[in-house]
Structure 1
Amino acid sequence: MRVAKNLRILAGAPLAAAALIALTAGTANAAIPINQPMTGKATYYNDAGYGACGTQINAATQMLVAVSHTWWTTANPNNDPVCKGISVKVTYNGKTVTVPVKDQCPSCDSTHIDLSQPAFAQLAPLGQGVINGLTWQFVKAGFTGETVPLSEPVTGSTIG
């Protein structure tokens, strides 16, 4: 009888551990490597319509970026933490541009970003098509557009 009771406790332990991990995992923002430079490549696109973050975009005219599907952590991309005040700071050949994440790139691997046409044009001629060897990182944008570390509270003034 005592052995059966111990087996039931042991059998339930993995389920309890999984539940504890799920409840204490924290926000998905913690999984986004804020301020950690990556080396990768960029392409550009010029689509218009609704981006993966659920807002209307025009990649032919707006400054924005689509990041790899691997950075999304929720079933509904419109509600994903990567769409909540996360931008990408991109540096190439001494030029830097910071653009908000507004879309998902289904064909990109984790270090490949798809910049909007005007964002790409600030770094290289459009005819180049692909920028290899650039450095980029996720950054948290404040209300005034500056980048702040994730650990600092975001403050801003009211507009009026």
Structure 2
Amino acid sequence: MQFTKFTLVVAMTLFAFLSAISTTTEAATKIQFGKKASGKATWFNGKDARDVACYGILQNKDVNAQDSWHIAAMRLSQFTGGVKNACFECLRVTAGSRSVIARIIDDCSSCSSGHVDLSLGAFLKLAPKKQGVVSIKYEFVRCPSSGSNLKWPKSPPVKKF
């Protein structure tokens, strides 16, 4: 009887451990252009963008970002290929009837899936600064390569398709 209780305790402990692991690991999703997802947006000061993940790929982690730039950070590990596939892609972020296109330049490891951390300039296109958090829909879009509304670093150039 003692052996059975011990086995039961070990089995329950193992089950609890595996359950905890499965809830904390999330399968990466493929970036799909035009597919809408729901989430939330917050804002950061663009001028505070230092040591950014996407520019690390280019061997230059320092970006002289401006608050007016339309840039974003997301938890890049949520996407298949992570940093290499999600960096420098563009998102159309929509809150109600307002939208903005922002270019992903950084990882936000503390962000949950669907959380888009926008530069202040991009966030202000959706809501007042004092709101702080806004419910959004977002989708990956091809980055525009020209026009007066481009508000992100010119390097690297956007991908031509």
Q: Distance in 2 between matches of 1:73 and 1:135?
A: 20
2:85 is aligned with 1:81:
yes
- How far does residue 60 in structure 1 lie from its aligned partner after superposition? 2.7
Q: CA deviation at 1:32?
A: 0.9
Q: Secondary structure at the match of 2:102?
A: strand
Q: 3-state SS of the aligned residue for 1:119?
A: helix
Name the SS for the 1:58 alignment partner: coil
Name the TM-score, length of structure 1 as normaliser: 0.62
Query: What is the CA–CA distance in structure 2 between the aligned matches of 1:53 and 1:60, rounded to whole Å?
Result: 18
**Please, which runs of 5 or more residues in structure 1 have no aligned partner?**
1-27, 147-152, 156-160
Is the 2:93–2:99 contact (alpha carbons within 8 Å) kept by the matching residues of 1? yes
Letter in 2 for 1:51: V
Distance 1:94 1:33 in 2: 23
Residues 69 and 83 (structure 1), Cα distance of their counterparts in 2 relative to 1, 3 Å cut: closer
Name the structure with the higher strand share: 1
CA RMSD of the aligned region, Å?
Answer: 2.7
Q: Given that residues 70 and 109 in structure 1 are in contact (C-alpha distance below 8 angstroms), is that contact kept between their aligned partners in structure 2?
A: no
Contact 1:91 1:97 in 2 (8 A): yes
Equivalent runs, 1:108-127 vs 2, <5 Å:
108-127=111-130
The alpha carbon displacement at 1:38 in A equals 0.5
In structure 2, list runs of 5 or more residues that go unmatched.
Answer: 1-27, 56-60, 150-158
| 1:140, distance to aligned residue in structure 2 (A) | 2.1
- State the percentage of identical aligned residues: 32
Q: How many residues align?
A: 116
Tell me which residue corresponds to 2:97.
94
The runs of at least 4 aligned residues of structure 1 exceeding 4 Å deviation read 72-75
Aligned partner of 2:34 in structure 1 is 35
Question: CA–CA distance in 1 between the matches of 2:77 and 2:112?
Answer: 7
Would the alpha carbon gap of residues 125 and 142 (structure 1) be closer, same or farther in structure 2, given more than 3 Å must change? closer
Task: Tell me how far apart the structure 2 counterparts of residues 58 and 71 of structure 1 sit (CA, whole Å).
Answer: 24
Distance (whole Å) between structure 1 residues aligned to residue 107 and residue 132 of structure 2: 19
Indicate the residue corresponding to 1:49 in structure 2.
50
Normalised by the length of structure 2, the TM-score is 0.62
| Alpha-carbon displacement from aligned partner over 1:115-144 (angstroms, at most 9, x marks no partner) | 011100111011001002x11011122433
Q: Deviations over 1:89-108 (max 9, x none)?
A: 01112111001111111111
